Structure 1
Amino acid sequence: MDNEMTLSFLAVSENEALARMAMTSFMTVLDPTIEELSEVKTVISEAVTNAIIHGYEENRTGIVTVYATRVDREVTVTISDQGCGIEDVQQAMEPLYTTKQQMDRSGMGFTIMESFTDQLSVKSERGKGTTVTFKKQFQPVGSPFAAR
């Protein structure tokens, strides 16, 4: 492992920006493209927002934890909460599925996360919380696929 970090914070919406900024700083050494940075920040935003809105149902006393590791040019990130959990993970990962229609939630969070990562897993247990883990491989500096 080249590096790791852990960040825990209250389940307060304003802390979603804190999580994005911490991950941006953590990835800087990889010299990511703007697109790579944007994709990871979006996934972090979706997962943290899900923990706050769905996991803790905006109860500001819960804790969200972001744990990240970096090995070579691959970053693995785990976002976890100890909230209410997801009853049916398969169903929750279906595009357009939402339990918060009244909040104008689009139900695209997991779909977006899957499209911006190389690997995504979601584990959840009712009454115990949810853990979202994703991996992202960064293009080598100077790669013809790394538009800079």
Structure 2
Amino acid sequence: MATWAEFAAEQPDMAAFVQSRFAADRHALIATLRKDGSPRISGVEPDFTRGELWAGMMPDSLKSRDLRRDPRFALHCMTTTASMTEAGDAKISGTAEFWADKDVYLKDLFDRTGWQPKPEEIDLFRMDVTEVVQLTVEGDEMVVLSWHEGRGTRRVTKK
């Protein structure tokens, strides 16, 4: 698995685009797997800081339980228009690691935002990435740029 910093070092332009899409609207959607293997879609606010991708959630929430049981996830930014002509689209897939030592992250969060939940008020996950996808529209074509760990990037255009 690659950390966000490792991905960004390999693909700095794509990393900047993807981070900007997630920053445009802090709210995103995360897909996790339920106990029976079916998908669950939940809201989340991903946080890119210190070369890592993080997600905090309510303690013992269903999505937190899902990730503790099966760490695979897919994360999708909010898309502002159906045509995607204004900003594009971004997706990240990988695995999430439950993070029990929250003090450093929570101090950094407070320094950046002025908000600091108590450690018991948040389940914290650090996310490694296996796939990152950027979608944009150029002229009358949709351009899909995808990166897969160990395989690099691939560009596909669709009319």
State if a TM-score over 0.5 links the two structures. no
Task: Select the structure that is richer in strand.
Answer: 2
Q: Kindly indicate which of the two structures has a greater share of residues assigned to helix.
A: 1
| Larger relative contact order (CA 8 Å, sep ≥ 6) | 1
What TM-score, normalized by structure 1, do the two folds share?
Answer: 0.31
Which protein is bigger by CA-based radius of gyration? Answer: 2
What TM-score do you get using the length of structure 2 for normalisation?
Answer: 0.29
